[in-house]
Every structure is written in C-alpha cells, then in structure tokens.
Amino acid sequence: MAHTTPMPVTPTTKILAIGTFPPGTDMQVVQHILSTEVRDTAQIYLEGKIDQWYSLQDRAGVVFVLNVTDLSQAHEMLEALPLGKAQLMTFSLLPIGPLKPLSKLLS
C-alpha cells in the first residue's frame, strides 16, 4: 500500500466572493440601487478590502477577491452593501490561499 503524505494546510490569504441574484429578483429594483451599490463598493475597494473585482460573464453578478481572511467579517461587509441590505444579492464565500502542491517542491 502506497503511503501518501497529506497535503499541508495552507493559510487563508484572501476570500473569493461570488455575488449573484436569487431567482425572481426584480432587476428594476436592482437598477435603482446600483449607483449607491457601486459607490459603496468603490469605497471598500479604496479602503483596501477588495483586491480585484469582476463581472460574471454567463449571468448577472460579481466576483470579488477580498483582502480579508475571516469569513464572518467578509459576510458582514458584503451584507452591509445596499444590495445585501435589500437582500437582492447573495454571496458564496470561498477562503483561498497559496497553491498547496507548491510546498511539495520545497521538501
């Protein structure tokens, strides 16, 4: 039986946040809130809490790479945005970190 060494634990260095609109979301309401949403999101970016931001190509939504390592802090921050407060956008939060297999090269 081959002995496999477990992959080393890597630290969470960022959080990938994927924001989408729940089915049935009234996009006209979203449009009314969007200018405030963009302004508040830009403010979070300027505070250094968003590293990168993208649009989803296959549906309405956003992807943020957050300079935050705590999931509850990320959730709180995103829920405080206008679309989050209005419960019009939901986020999937994925903790990410350095590529694990790279550590194999160092041992």
Report domain extents, the chain: 15-20+27-106
Is the pLDDT reported for residue 14 higher than 70?
Answer: yes
Helix (H, G, I), strand (E, B) or coil at 104: helix
* CATH of span 15-20+27-106: 3.30.70.1060
- 53 CB burial (10 A radius; 0-12, 13-18, 19+): middle
Report which secondary-structure segment, H or E, holds 103.
helix 102-106
> Which tens digit of pLDDT belongs to each residue from 57-82?
999 999 999 999 999 999 999 999 99
Query: Edge-to-edge, what's the strand order for the sheet holding 90-96?
Result: 50-55, 61-66, 14-20, 90-96
pTM score: 0.85
Query: What is the per-residue pLDDT for 10?
Result: 81
Q: What is the mean pLDDT of the chain?
A: 91
Q: What is the dihedral of CA 66, 68, 69, 74, to 10 degrees?
A: -80
Confidence of residue 100 (pLDDT cuts 50, 70, 90): confident
